[in-house]
Every structure is written in structure tokens, then in C-alpha cells.
Structure 1
Amino acid sequence: MTQYVTHGLLRAADRGRDAGEEGRCVLHLDMDAYFASVEQRDVPLYRGRPLVVCHTSSDFCTHGVVATASYEARCWGVKAGMSVWEARSRCPHACFVHADIPKYLDNARRIRRLCERLSHRVEVFSIDEVFVDLTPLLRPCPPGEERWREALRVGRELKGEIRRRLGLTASVGIGPNKLVAKMASEFQKPDGLTLVTPEQLPDILAPLPVDRLVGVGERMRRHLRAMGVETVGDLARTPVELLEWKFGVMGRLLWEAAHGRDGSPVRAGGEEQEVKSFGHSLSLRGGTRDLEYLENTLLGLCDAVTRRMRREGYLGRTVALRLRVGYALGYARARSLDEYTDLTSPVYAAARDLLRREASSGLWTEPVTTVGVSVSQLRRREEGRQVTIWDIMDNREERLTAALDALRDRYGEGVVTRASLLGDFALSGMNLAR
């Protein structure tokens, strides 16, 4: 299952609270062990046996990564993201097969069409997950218990249609917003149907371990545990100011999530997506602990990000540093600026401070293998920004930046380079990941 991305989900939490969520009803559909279930449906030999679907270039699945494991294989500790070698050592009697992505995409399209019979607002979140906004469909029902009963009936019928037409099972969660619906779909897997109403939220969320909350990974769980936060209820009772001081923007997002708040809309396919952020990252072959090298790399990334922002006419306020240490999962740290900007200097200063803070934390047990930076909390440049005395200084950099952009537009990116980057071959004309 694709990990839920909290920034996109929770950014509109305050707007959602102001608008009122009591009239909304969102369904989240999560296919059960999707790739493996499709293979077990199509090949009777695989049914009832441990099955591991692999992303691999090996003809015999001797190496690569586990894409999905059937529930029979999960009983042996096999899970998505694990190396095929480890999966074989844990469950040597399992069947190992190549992922057939075109087949899975075809089934996903058929699932989406079934969902679109219920609502014009269907958001494909991943190949095996869909959000459906049931609010228009349920509007004729009186608000309250009767409306939620009708939502359960709709969810039950959708599950039945998928089983009859495709021979697959799905877990469905229903709630007042995407966040709650997503969490509800995980409560009774596989083949579950769970409703969480606004009235039930405090009682259901509070006792859950904090890592059941979307957005809390292993690293964040350790930090929260050090603060005495073990459950979602503990997190909800923690002063938001403390969380913001400790974790920056992410602290408020987690606090909102702990209260079950989410105002993000269900976006139909083809609907214009609002630009949320600009970012670049760079993989460092072999990794490095050299702080000066990392800072120079970060400067090049900030230069590239802000150039894109200027080209597309955006100002931003929140700077996020993204790191991967060794071969562990990546993580991010964020900081908000005092003013909106599209200039390199303030973005780099914030990102560099975050980098230095991480470097001094003592948590880098292995070399940094990926570094990235992104800018979010965007607004269009034509909306303007508040003028302060510091704009007298900023105008000098704006004129210099405009001149540099003009040179690069005419003669190419490598025609002019910051002096501190001249020695870094990795940053000269680098092909950056967005």
C-alpha cells in the first residue's frame, strides 16, 4: 500500500474545520494485497499459498524488491519493500512471480469506472487506492444516522460489485474526510467495511498507537515516544505550540491529524491540480558525511528550485530539507520563512540551518545518500508580498537574480555558476530529480 502523504492531505485542515465537515462523506477503497490477489485470481495454483510479487529484472526472481505479498506470505513476515533475498529466507516455500503492471493497471481502470457510477468526484490515489466523495449522492438523506447508514449500504454494494465483476476483495473506510476514511479502511483488513462518524472520532482515535496515524513513521515515532507520546490521544493533548517548536510545520500537521481534521477535497481525474511545491533532489553515489560538500550541494539545489519558481511565477514560504541516510527511508525537516520569496539566499539559509541542525543531532550513523530541498506554501507572484525595510536589500538580489536568469535563458544553465559550486562536478549541469 502506498504510504499516505500528509502534506497534501492536511494542508487544508484549518479551512476544513472552518467550513464544517459534518455534511461531508468520503469513501476510501483499498484493494487487499492487490497485485497478489490478481495473480491468485488468475492462477488457481497460487490460491491459498504464500505468493510474493516482485519488481525484478531476474528471470527467476532471485533478486529485486517485493512489490506485494499475499496474506499467506505476510504471516511469515514478508512485506512490501523487502528485498527478494530476505523474503526467500523468511518464506522459502512461497511462490515468487514477476509484477505484471499492465494487467494491474487494466483492473484498476475497471475499478475506477465502478466507483465513477457513484460520484463524479473520484480520486485515484494509487494503483490500488481510490477516494470517492459520496456527499452529493447522500445529500437527499437527512443528516445524521440515516445518512451514515446509507453510506454503509453504498460501500457494501461497491465491495460486492468488485467481487462479482473482478473476483477481488477490497477494504472500505467511510468517514467525514479523506484522512478518517483512509484510516478506517485499515481497521478491518482484509475485506473490511468500517464507518467512523465525527461523534466516534475521539473514542476511536485516542487509544490507537501513535504510529497508526498517517504520517508517523518509525523515526517520528521514536521522537514522539521520547516526549512521552505513545497514543494518538497523547498527541492530541500535546500543545500544538510545543509540536511546532519541535517539528516545525510537520508538528501542526500531526496535531491536526490527531484530531481527525482534514479539509482537502476529493479531486476528480483530469481536474486541474493546484501547484503545491517546487523541489529537487540529488542522489550522492556512495554517500558522504562531508558537511561542506552537502552544503554546496544544497546551494545548487536551492538555486535550481528558486529558478523554476521564478520561471513559473511563484513565491514560497515553507522550506523543507529532505535527507536519506544510508539505505533507510528518507525523512524531511521544514521551516517557515518570515516572508514569501523566490530568491535563492533566504531559501538556502533556511535549508542550510536545517542541515546543520541535523548534522549536529548525532543521528547520522551512516553517510547521507540523498539530499533534496523543496519550497511550499505557495502564492502567485502577482499577488505581491508585504514590503518591509529589508526589501531595500532584497531588491539588489532581485536585480542580480534577474540578470543571471536572463544569461542562463539565452546561453544555457552552465554559462554562469556560483563561485562556491565551481569545484563540485556533481552540480555542474546536474540532472536533478524533481
Structure 2
Amino acid sequence: MIDYSKLPRNKILCIDMKSFYASCAAVLNGLDPLESYIVVVGNTSQPGSVVLASSPKMKQEYGIKTGNRLFEVPNDKKIKIFNAQMKTFLEMSTQITRIFNRFVPRECIHTYSVDESFLKIDGTERLWGDAKSCAERIRHTILTELGLHSAVGIGPNMLLAKLCLDLEAKKTGIAEWTYEDVPEKLWPLSPLREMWGIGSKIEKTLNRMGIFTVGQLANYPLEQLEKKFGIMGNQLYHHAHGVDLSELGAPIMSGQISFGKGQILLRDYDDPKEVKHVILEMCEEVARRARNSKKCGRTVSLSIGYSKDEGGGGFHRSRTIAEPTNITMDIYRTCLQLFDENFNNRTVRQISITLSNVCDDEQIQLNLFEENKGKERELGYVMDAIRNKFGPNAILRAVSYTKAGTALHRNKLVGGHKA
């Protein structure tokens, strides 16, 4: 069993802004975020535009939430529909971070996403009181100055603070978990995918092992988990006990770094050649992201989602190549293989590409029989440097100038949506 007496007992706040985009839109338009019926979409002029956020009232009474389409929103006068103003939303997120900085130093703030942050408040008791008092002060300040509502989970580490937020604080406003709460509050959790850090694939594997609750995971033999999952098995075991020794800002689950790009297309693509044009653009972006991190990868994954007009569905396939790469055309050729092998001539609406199984770029071994590999690798970095200096549209592949291309349009967006 875990000896909690030997573990750090920090005071970590995990702060989440409730329905952030919808709340920002409400405040900007003089409306109450909790009482108004608000929907934020990518583009109000396109019926198929995706809902990016909805207010609590919209979720409760109409069931409209992130992922719905604009045409699914009821035609009701009390419902207000707004375009995303990503630049403004990001500015409001920055204002929130400045408020955090009044309570703790910058090095004690980790921005996890645009609407969620971790704060380490150890040593601030004389200024702001205990953890719950500090959390309430922060919530009150954000609400008073920006009109935005928030929830705060408190824990001795980032993992428990996040779990406390997701499983309790989002319902109550503020909650605190300790190591002693783990058996009562965490172990009954099921399905496993509701546990932060466990995705659907890992959940299915655990289910096949007879593990359906976090408690069953916590009491499963550690050596068997390590044999099945490697180092991740060790992490799963200790996380099920609420143990997380990572520093503020470090990834909770190591060994899961990947580089990906996904998009819901602006229209249905019924021509496979056009789909391949978009795949090439996206491979360029995935490779660029890997190069920017000085990484390369061996496993290429392609996901294709079919149009709802044809019943939806799709496929997700992966292939591991012989040598790690961050060269666009290597990734593209692998995606083409996966596409040609699995595509069944249906209309495409969604594409996602991921490069995983990563290692440092310096570990690439150039093949003597592929003398152009070194030049292709260096060319990628040169193209990145041009784009970084002159903008993403400074140099594009020819497919981006066809009617199928999406890069020209998307490069004008902020966070994938209108600024």
C-alpha cells in the first residue's frame, strides 16, 4: 500500500472558467452568463458550423453543447447566437492570468488551457488565509472585475486538484480533496475514461483485464500493470492512489507526447483527390509542429470522419514506419497508404492526423540508400524559418491554392476560428 506520510502535501488550485467562450460572449453583450441562452459558433453564416460553447441554460434546457451544429440550435427568440471572437477571448484569458498573479508569483501559475489553470499557493496563508479562503477570494475577484464564473478544485498535487475540480468542484463551486479522500471519492469512479489521463483505448484494455473502476485499478498487482503497459502501468497504478510527483506545469502523464492536427471541413468533400489535398496540407502542419519541438516520430495515425448525411462513421488507422521522421512527404505517403487501404468512397467531413512514438530529432539516422533524406529534412526547417519570419502564408504548397485547400483560410484564424 501507499505510504502517504512520505508524499508532498502542497496546496494546488485547479481553476476552471465555466462555459468560458459562452460566458465571455455574454459579458461582452451585457448578458448574464448563467441566465442567458447563448451559443457560440465558428461562423453564424454556415448552418453546418460547429458549436464551440453554450451557456449552462442552453445545455440544461435544450441539450445544445460543444460539438453540436448550428442547424441543430432551436429557432427560439430567447437564444442568442454569436460568432467566436477568439482574439477577444484570449485577451480575457490573459486578464484572468493577471488576476492570478496578484495572489501568487508567475512561477506558481501554470496555464493548462485557455480556460483552465493550476496555481500553487503554498506559503500564502498569511495573506489570503487557508486554501478555500484563497480560492474564494480569487473567484470573487474574477466575478467582480470580469463578470465570469469559475470553479476551483484543491488538492495536494496537480492530479488530485484536477480530479477534485472535474468530479466535485464543478458542481459545488469549490471543493478540496486530500489523500485520505481517495478511497471514498476516487475509487468508485466508473467508467474509467472519466479519470483524467485515461483515454478510451486504455480503458478498453483495462476492461479486458477485468478492471472497471479506479478502485479495481488501485488494487491490481503493480507488476502486472507494468508488464502490460510499461512505465505507464506504474503511472496508472499510482494515479489510482492519487499519487502525482510531477512539478507544476509538467505533464501529468509522461510517454504520451504526440503532434496532431484535426479539422472539421467547411463542406463535404466527395472527391478523394480533394481529400488528399487537405491531407497533404495537414501533414505539413503536423511535421512543422514536430520540427518546432525538435522531435520526430515513427507512428502515423489517420482518422477520417464521414458526413452525417451518409450516416457518419469513419475509420482510424495507424502505421509504424521503419525510421522516425518529421519530413512532410514521409508522413503524407504513410497517410496515403492508410487512406487508400481503408477509404470506401463516401463523403468526407472530418480529418485528423497524428505523429506519435516520438524521439529527439538528433536521433534520426540517415539512410545511405536515401541520399535526399538529409536535404528534405533541412528543407523543412528552412520552410519553417520563412513562415516564422513572414507569416504562415508566406510559403505554401500548390494544393493550398486549389478549391480543396483550407490552409489559406485557416491561417487567418485564431485557434481555428475567427479572430
TM range (shorter): 0.5 to 0.7
- Give the corresponding residue for 1:84: 70
Aligned residue in 1 for 2:111: 124
Query: How far apart, CA to CA, are the structure 1 residues paired with 2:315 and 2:7?
Result: 31
Same amino acid, percent of matched pairs: 24
Q: Distance in 2 between matches of 1:349 and 1:246?
A: 31
Root mean square deviation, CA, Å:
5.6
Q: CA deviation at 1:118?
A: 2.2
Q: Distance in 2 between matches of 1:282 and 1:367?
A: 11
Once the two structures are TM-superposed, the CA of residue 207 in structure 1 deviates from its matched residue by: 0.7
**Is the Cα contact below 8 Å between 1:282 and 1:372 reproduced in 2?**
no
Aligned to 1:95: 79
Q: Which residue of 2 aligns with 1:184?
A: 164
In the superposition, the TM-score normalised over structure 1's length comes to 0.61
Q: 1:170 to 1:366 in 2, by over 3 A?
A: same
Q: Aligned residue for 1:161?
A: 141
Which one-letter code corresponds to 1:96 in the other structure?
K
Shift of 1:87: 2.8
C-alpha spacing 1:249/1:399, structure 2 compared with 1 (3 Å): farther
Given candidates 50, 53, 57, the residue that maps to 1:68 is 53
Contact 1:54/1:64 (<8 A) preserved: no
**What SS class does the counterpart of residue 351 from structure 2 fall into?**
strand
Distance 1:155 1:208, change over 3 A: same
Query: What's the offset of the Cα at 1:254?
Result: 5.7
Tell me the distance in 2 between the aligned counterparts of 1:227 and 1:304. 38
> Is 1:401 matched with 2:373?
yes
Stretches of structure 1 that go unaligned for 5 or more consecutive residues are: 1-16, 142-146, 269-275, 386-390, 413-424
Matched residues in 1 for 2:262 and 2:244: separation? 28
The one-letter amino acid of 1:171's match is A
Map of 2:388 onto structure 1: none
Decide whether the 8 Å contact of 2:260 with 2:352 is kept in 1: no
Q: Tell me if structure 2 keeps the 8 A contact 1:41–1:47.
A: yes
Letter paired with 2:64: V
Q: Partner residue of 2:185?
A: 204
Which whole-Å CA distance do the structure 2 matches of 1:368 and 1:197 have between them?
45
Is structure 2 residue 32 aligned with structure 1 residue 52?
A: no
Secondary structure in 2 matching 1:233? helix
Taking the aligned partners of 1:428 and 1:308, their CA distance within structure 2 comes to 22
CA distance in 2 between partners of 1:71 and 1:300 (Å): 37
Q: Does 1:26 align with 2:12?
A: yes
Deviates more, 1:24-33 or 1:62-71: 62-71
User: Does the CA contact (< 8 Å) of 1:25 and 1:134 recur in 2?
Assistant: yes
> Is residue 2:121 matched to residue 1:134?
yes
Are the equivalent residues in 1 in contact too, given 2:264–2:349 (CA < 8 A)?
A: no
Q: TM-score, normalised by structure 2?
A: 0.63
Measure, in 2, the Cα distance between the counterparts of 1:295 and 1:165.
Answer: 48
Q: 1:296 to 1:32 in 2, by over 3 A?
A: closer
Residue 194 (structure 1) aligns with: 175
Q: Distance in 1 between matches of 2:203 and 2:331?
A: 28
The change in CA–CA distance for 1:45 and 1:178 in structure 2 (over 3 A counts) is closer
Distance change in 2, residues 1:212/1:410 (3 Å)? closer
Distance 1:350 1:79 in 2: 37
Q: Which residue in the other structure is 1:232 paired with?
A: 214
Q: Within 5 Å, which residues of 2 pair with 1:301-320?
A: 314=294, 316=296, 319-320=299-300
Distance across 2 between alignment mates of 1:58 and 1:211? 33
Q: Which moved more, 1:296-305 or 1:228-237?
A: 296-305
Paired residues of 1:300 and 1:427 also in contact (CA < 8 A): yes
CA distance in 1, matches of 2:241, 2:151: 23
Q: For the structure 1 residues 21 and 289, does the alpha-carbon distance in structure 2 shift closer, same or farther, using more than 3 Å as the test? A: farther
Aligned to 2:355: 374
Structure 1 residue identity aligned to 2:18: D
